[in-house]
Amino acid sequence: MAVEIQFGKYSFVAYDLFVKHMAFYVGDVIDVGVEILPMKELQAEMSSGPSYYEGELYNLIREGRGVPAVPLIIVGIAP
């Protein structure tokens, strides 16, 4: 299992989901990736630029089943 806690810029979340977790999964290092993100309510209280759970979940659903091709658990944290 790979766990990423991501309160940084939105581009880093995409990198985690589509590159980092994928590389470890394809390399047979992990069986599942876990990404922990702030929810919109918490993101509104943070400095500029962080991604938030609801937005990233929407992006993944929009991509469709099988993208990324890694089993993922996405967790949202609220204040």
pLDDT tens readout for residues 8-52: 776 778 788 888 888 999 999 999 999 999 988 888 777 766 788
> What number is the average pLDDT over the span 48-69?
81
79 part of a folded domain: no
26 part of a folded domain: yes
Q: How many residues does the chain have?
A: 79
56-60: long-range pairs with CB below 8 Å, 24+:
56/13, 56/17, 60/17
Checking if the pLDDT of 64 tops 80, the result is: no
67 part of a folded domain: yes
Number of domains the chain is built from: 1
> What number is the average pLDDT over the span 62-75?
83
Q: What confidence score (pLDDT) does residue 49 get?
A: 66
Which is nearest to 32 in space by CA: 42, 22, 19, 41?
22
Which residue range forms the structural domain that includes residue 45? 8-71
Rounded Cα–Cα distance for residues 34 and 15 (Å): 13
42 part of a folded domain: yes
> What number is the average pLDDT over the span 51-59?
87
Q: What confidence score (pLDDT) does residue 47 get?
A: 74
Q: CB-based burial of residue 18 (10 Å sphere; 0-12 exposed, 13-18 middle, 19+ buried)?
A: middle
